[in-house]
């Protein structure tokens, strides 16, 4: 368990919570200890903790995104595939307590089991150390990955390539506002195509605002 705690970057005050998070129902059902519980209750709690932390992050980090886009982004971050990536990064399968049949049947690599275990571990961290501890782990293993993917997207270039499919297209970016104190200023930007506004965006820098405006323009033009 210490090796897993090191990978998580978190040490449990109540190690039994982590053990519970790694206990699959197949193992609990085969155990002679009738008081042994599976990780299903923790999975239920972890699902809500994860959803709340991700929603809070997206709401604050992307003030320009409408509800529909926020919902789709959250769904992508908390989906089974995303959680399986986290489990693989942690090597979580090796720590699971599985029943003999489930273990023999490849349960340690089964996506649904791994994803459920990640949610259970997050709940265990939340119960042991509070929402701040859970948020740090979610940030490290899920949200930072989202930021890296977002940083790699050059929406301005993508928009330029899109409009250049037709000759004579002219894109211009205009700063339309700046609010807040110097240390936390939010810039507003519009992008015009041939003089008509096709996208608006905000950001903590002019560059970020331009990228967000370009992203909004791409979405609008694709409609």
Locate 170 and state its tokens.
């002219």
Q: Residue 119 catalytic?
A: yes
Long-range contacts of 201-208 (CB under 8 A, 24+ apart): 201/64, 202/63, 202/64, 203/64, 206/175
Q: Residue 47 catalytic?
A: yes
Catalytic option among 64, 102, 119, 210? 119
Instruction: Count Cβ atoms below 10 Å from residue 198 Cβ, excluding itself.
Output: 20
Catalytic option among 47, 64, 102, 210? 47
CA triple 158-162-168, angle to 5 deg: 125
Locate 56 and state its tokens.
């809070």
Positions at the binding site for Mg(2+): 43, 116, 119
Positions at the binding site: 43, 116, 119
At a CB cut-off of 8 Å and minimum separation 6, what does 135 contact?
Answer: 53
Report the catalytic residues. Answer: 47, 119
């Amino acid at each position: 368990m210490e090796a897993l705690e090191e990978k998580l970057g978190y040490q449990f005050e109540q190690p039994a919570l982590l053990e519970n998070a790694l206990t699959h129902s197949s193992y609990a059902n085969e155990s002679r200890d009738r008081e042994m519980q599976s990780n299903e209750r923790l999975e239920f709690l972890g699902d809500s903790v994860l959803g709340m932390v991700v929603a809070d992050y997206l709401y604050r980090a992307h003030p320009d995104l409408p509800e529909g886009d926020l919902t789709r982004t959250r769904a992508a971050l908390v989906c089974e595939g995303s959680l399986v990536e986290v489990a693989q990064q942690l090597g979580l399968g090796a720590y699971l307590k599985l029943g003999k049949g489930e273990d023999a049947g490849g349960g340690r690599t089964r996506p649904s089991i791994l994803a459920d275990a990640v949610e259970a571990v997050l709940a265990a961290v939340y119960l042991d150390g509070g929402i701040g501890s859970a948020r740090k782990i979610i940030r490290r293993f899920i949200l930072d990955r989202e930021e890296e993917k977002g940083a790699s997207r050059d929406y301005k270039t993508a928009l330029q390539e899109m409009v250049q499919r037709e000759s004579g297209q002219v894109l211009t970016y205009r700063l339309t506002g700046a609010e807040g104190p110097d240390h936390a200023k939010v810039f507003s930007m519009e992008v015009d195509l041939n003089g008509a506004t096709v996208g608006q965006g905000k950001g903590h820098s002019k560059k970020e605002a331009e990228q967000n405006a370009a992203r909004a323009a791409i979405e609008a033009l694709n409609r």
